[in-house]
Structure 1
Amino acid sequence: MSRLKCVNIGAQLMLLLVLLKMLTVINVAALDFRHHNQRDIENIMRNLTIEFPHLTDMYSIGKSVRGADLWVIVVGVNASQHHPLIPNVKLVANMHGNEVVGRELVLHLAEHLLLEYGKNESLTRFLNTTHVHIMPTMNPDGYEMSVEGSCDGLIGRANALGYDLNRNFPDELSKFADPEQKETHLVRDWLHSTHFVLSVNLHGGALVVNYPFDSFPGVNSRRYSKSPDDDVFRQLSLIYSRTHPTMHLGSSCGDSFEDGITNGADWYPVYGGMQDYLYKNASGYQVLVELSCCKYPRAQMLRGFWERHRDALINLMFAVHMGVKGLIFGQSQYSDSLFLPLEGATVMVKGRESIQFKSTKYGEYFKLLLPGEYVLLVRHPCYVPVEIPFEVQGSAVTRLDVRLFSSDCFQSPAAMATATVKLEDIPSSESWHQRNGKESCMRLKNTVLVHLLCSVVIAMLFL
Structure 2
Amino acid sequence: MLAVALLCSLAIVLFGECSSVELKHHNYKEMLDYMVKIHKKCPEITRPYVLEGKTVMNRSLAVLEMSDNPGKHEIGEPEFKYVGNMHGNEVVGRELLLALLDYMCDQYKAGNKTIVKLLESTRIHIMPSMNPDGWEIATESFKKTGKKDWLKGRSNANNVDLNRNFPDLDRIVYRNHEKNNHIKEKTHDQQKNPIQPETYMAMEWIQEVPFVLSSNLHGGDLVANYPYDESQSGAPQEYSKSPDDSTFRYLAESYSLWHATMAKPHESCDDMPDNEKFLKQKGTTNGAAWYSVAGGMQDFNYLRTNCFEITLELGCDKYPPENALPQFWEDNKDALINFMWQTHIGIKGVIRDAQTKKGIASATVKVHNLTSDADINHDITSAHDGDYWRLLIPGSYMVTVTAPGYLPQTKCMEVTNPFRTEAKEVDFELQPLREDAMSVKADVDPSCAHLNMVPNAVMEEKGDQEKQKIKHILQNKYQENFEGDDDDDDEIERWYDNSYDGSRLMSSNYMEDLEYLEELKDLQKLLDGYLQE
TM-score band w.r.t. shorter chain: 0.7 to 0.9
Confirm or deny that 1:146 pairs with 2:114.
Answer: no
Distance 2:147 2:436 in 1: 62
Q: Which moved more, 1:116-125 or 1:400-409?
A: 400-409
Distance 1:426 1:297 in 2: 65
Q: Which amino acid aligns with 1:401?
A: D
Counterpart of 1:81 in 2: which secondary structure?
coil
Match of 1:401 among 401, 424, 427: 427
2:306 counterpart residue number: 283
Check conservation: 1:280, 1:356, Cα contact below 8 A.
no
- Please give the per-residue CA displacement for 1:221-264, whole angstroms capped at 9, x wherever unaligned: 21111111111111111121111121102553143112111000
Distance 1:410 1:143 in 2: 62
Confirm or deny that 1:92 pairs with 2:83.
Answer: yes
Confirm or deny that 1:292 pairs with 2:315.
Answer: yes
Check conservation: 1:98, 1:154, Cα contact below 8 A.
yes
Q: Which moved more, 1:44-53 or 1:28-37?
A: 28-37
Paired residues for 1:218-297 under 5 Å:
218-249=233-264, 251=266, 252-253=268-269, 254=272, 255-256=274-275, 257=278, 258=280, 259-297=282-320
Paired residues for 1:315-326 under 5 Å:
315-326=338-349
Distance 1:266 1:385 in 2: 38
- Please give the per-residue CA displacement for 1:398-419, whole angstroms capped at 9, x wherever unaligned: 100111122267999x969x79
- Please give the per-residue CA displacement for 1:115-164, whole angstroms capped at 9, x wherever unaligned: 01142111111111111100000011111100357555211011111111
Are the structure 2 counterparts of residues 176 and 321 from structure 1 closer, same or farther at C-alpha, using a change threshold of 3 Å? closer
Confirm or deny that 1:304 pairs with 2:327.
Answer: yes
Confirm or deny that 1:42 pairs with 2:32.
Answer: yes
Check conservation: 1:151, 1:293, Cα contact below 8 A.
no
Identity of aligned residues (%): 39
| TM-score, normalised by the number of residues in structure 2 | 0.69
Match of 1:52 among 17, 36, 42: 42
Check conservation: 1:170, 1:272, Cα contact below 8 A.
yes
Distance 2:204 2:164 in 1: 17
Check conservation: 1:150, 1:297, Cα contact below 8 A.
no
Confirm or deny that 1:375 pairs with 2:398.
Answer: yes
Distance 1:112 1:30 in 2: 7
1:156 counterpart residue number: 153
Are the structure 2 counterparts of residues 40 and 425 from structure 1 closer, same or farther at C-alpha, using a change threshold of 3 Å? farther
Are the structure 2 counterparts of residues 219 and 291 from structure 1 closer, same or farther at C-alpha, using a change threshold of 3 Å? same
1:338 counterpart residue number: 356
Q: Which amino acid aligns with 2:430?
A: L
Q: Which amino acid aligns with 2:153?
A: G
Check conservation: 1:36, 1:104, Cα contact below 8 A.
yes
Distance 1:46 1:399 in 2: 36
Unaligned runs of 5+ in 2: 1-17, 172-186, 369-373, 438-468, 477-482, 490-533
Q: Which moved more, 1:149-158 or 1:399-408?
A: 149-158
| TM-score, normalised by the number of residues in structure 1 | 0.79
Distance 1:410 1:95 in 2: 54
Check conservation: 2:138, 2:149, Cα contact below 8 A.
no
2:379 counterpart residue number: 356
Are the structure 2 counterparts of residues 173 and 287 from structure 1 closer, same or farther at C-alpha, using a change threshold of 3 Å? closer
Q: How much does 1:381 deviate?
A: 2.3
Q: How much does 1:216 deviate?
A: 3.2
Q: How much does 1:426 deviate?
A: 12
Distance 1:192 1:44 in 2: 27
Alignment RMSD (CA, Å)? 2.7
Distance 1:326 1:292 in 2: 38
Are the structure 2 counterparts of residues 173 and 316 from structure 1 closer, same or farther at C-alpha, using a change threshold of 3 Å? closer
Q: Which amino acid aligns with 1:304?
A: Q
- Please give the per-residue CA displacement for 1:247-295, whole angstroms capped at 9, x wherever unaligned: 1025531431121110001000111111111111110111110011011
1:433 counterpart residue number: none
2:127 counterpart residue number: 135
Unaligned runs of 5+ in 1: 1-27, 332-336, 428-463
Are the structure 2 counterparts of residues 272 and 339 from structure 1 closer, same or farther at C-alpha, using a change threshold of 3 Å? same
Q: May I ask how many residue pairs the two structures share in their alignment?
A: 393
Paired residues for 1:56-71 under 5 Å:
56-62=46-52, 63-71=54-62
Distance 1:426 1:192 in 2: 35
